[in-house]
Structure 1
């Protein structure tokens, strides 16, 4: 496989009330992205932001850990790493007034690739009140 992966996924917790330290403690995972609304943050390039965050965000990605051009291994990695099937997660998400989603990168330059999101993964994210978004590039 070449160095450019044609698929990867990120799990995001978003909302005005997101406190990144809370979600880091809850999941026991250091985020790839952490923004507190109203505070300056470090951009993906490692530089300080010019403006404060407009919304809170906590995110962990699969790109550095999974080598696959298919989505399924990336999604399953994040589900396991974050233990997204744990009891009480949906209630916590609702109580904290946040939203959760999988954001998926999907390279479809050839136009003949179909994203592989298994039914059980869709059911699990829906069960916790989340969504799956696929950002397709052609």
Structure 2
């Protein structure tokens, strides 16, 4: 490695996960209080928000969004450690999450980034996590890149 090159394990991660609550009536402040966790990303409908680049959005948010990510906290190319981090950090499962989310018209999702350039990697979201998300009214979404 040359002295001017940076070593960034996050930039080349082959997997990470994000727990997302989204919807027209989603209040990021409510969900921060509910979980006792500050999100990595948040959008309040009708308000400007910070883009992932750090810049301010040119238009106001169309939906509310509250999201906690594993990317900067977990360094693994498998989804299991990323998902476990989110489960532990958010105190999942939560018995009333389905009802609370439904009352706000919110969608609950576990979004999983999966890089599969070689075509031979299989996403490893454990069955118990899939069942937990379903019981809480959420979905598991695999966003696979080749």
Same fold (TM over 0.5): yes
Q: How many residues of Structure 1 are paired with residues of Structure 2 in the alignment? A: 137
Name the TM-score, length of structure 2 as normaliser.
0.90
Corresponding residue SS for 1:67: coil
Cα distance in 2 between the residues matched to 1:65 and 1:16: 29
8 Å Cα contact 2:21-2:109 kept in structure 1 = yes
Cα distance in 2 between the residues matched to 1:117 and 1:48: 34
Unaligned runs of 5+ in 1: none
Cα distance in 2 between the residues matched to 1:79 and 1:120: 12
Shift of residue 94, structure 1, vs aligned partner:
1.4
Quick one: which of 33, 44, 47 aligns to 2:41? 33
Cα distance in 1 between the residues matched to 2:13 and 2:141: 18
Cα distance in 1 between the residues matched to 2:29 and 2:141: 25
Quick one: which of 12, 33, 43 aligns to 2:20? 12
Unaligned runs of 5+ in 2: 1-7
Task: Indicate the RMSD between aligned Cα atoms, in angstroms.
Answer: 1.0
Cα distance in 2 between the residues matched to 1:136 and 1:88: 31
Shift of residue 137, structure 1, vs aligned partner:
0.7
Name the TM-score, length of structure 1 as normaliser.
0.96
- Structure 1 partner of 2:3: none
Corresponding residue SS for 1:44: coil
Moved more, 13-22 or 83-92: 83-92
Corresponding residue SS for 2:117: coil
8 Å Cα contact 2:94-2:136 kept in structure 1 = no
- Structure 2 partner of 1:42: 50
Quick one: which of 135, 141, 144 aligns to 1:133? 141
Shift of residue 47, structure 1, vs aligned partner:
1.1
Cα distance in 1 between the residues matched to 2:132 and 2:126: 10
